[in-house]
Amino acid sequence: MVVIIIGLVTGAGAGLYVGTFRKMQVEKAAYDFFLAAKYARLMAVEKQSQYKMELNLAERGFYLSTVSWDEESGQAQQEIVKNLYCKPVQFQGDVFFESVDIAPSGWETQTVGEEQQTIIFSHNGTAHSSVVQIGDGKAHYTISISPATGRAKMFIGTAENVTVGTTDLEAE
């Protein structure tokens, strides 16, 4: 009888652990995305250069890129940002982009396919209006990026209740 009770308690504990681990994977992926968006905004303003957050929906990951000047060839080239603070991210486990809604500023057009999406952070602190939902089908996190300020906010839950639009800069 004691062995059966210990087996039941162990089985229940293992089931709770697996669910917690999966939720932690979703939370980590969302937090990585959130921090990368904050970093892109900061670097775009600091370096006075455009930073792009490239979302690869098919491969379940993203990376930051910017334009750098090649001294040898004298030409500008696209460069993936890899440093101590930012690197390309590949989602682990069953985590994927559940919903992606990016609205360009109006003057540029997005000519990439459904598999690739881009959020652009400009040197003046603005960005594409974006709402991105990351999850695994059970746990969901939503990150929104304000077009006026380029600031990212992270929410627990689905993108249904998250709207991005006009920001009142005088409100607290």
Q: Are 40 and 53 within 8 A, CB to CB?
A: yes
Q: Is residue 45 part of a domain?
A: yes
Q: Is residue 167 part of a domain?
A: no
Q: What is the C-alpha separation between 172 and 169, in angstroms, rounded? A: 8
CA 150 vs CA 97, 121, 164: distances in Å? 20, 7, 11
Domain encompassing residue 149: 2-161
pLDDT, residue 124, reads 92
- Which pLDDT tens digit goes with each residue over 74-111? 788 889 999 988 999 999 999 999 999 888 765 444 44
What is the value of pTM for the model shown? 0.80
Q: Is residue 170 part of a domain?
A: no
The neighbouring-strand residues paired with 53 are 64, 119
CATH code for the domain in which residue 69 is found: 3.55.40.10
Q: Is residue 169 part of a domain?
A: no
User: Rounded mean pLDDT of 49-63?
Assistant: 93
Q: Is residue 134 part of a domain?
A: yes
Please give the DSSP secondary-structure letter assigned to residue 139: S
- Tally of structural domains, the chain: 1
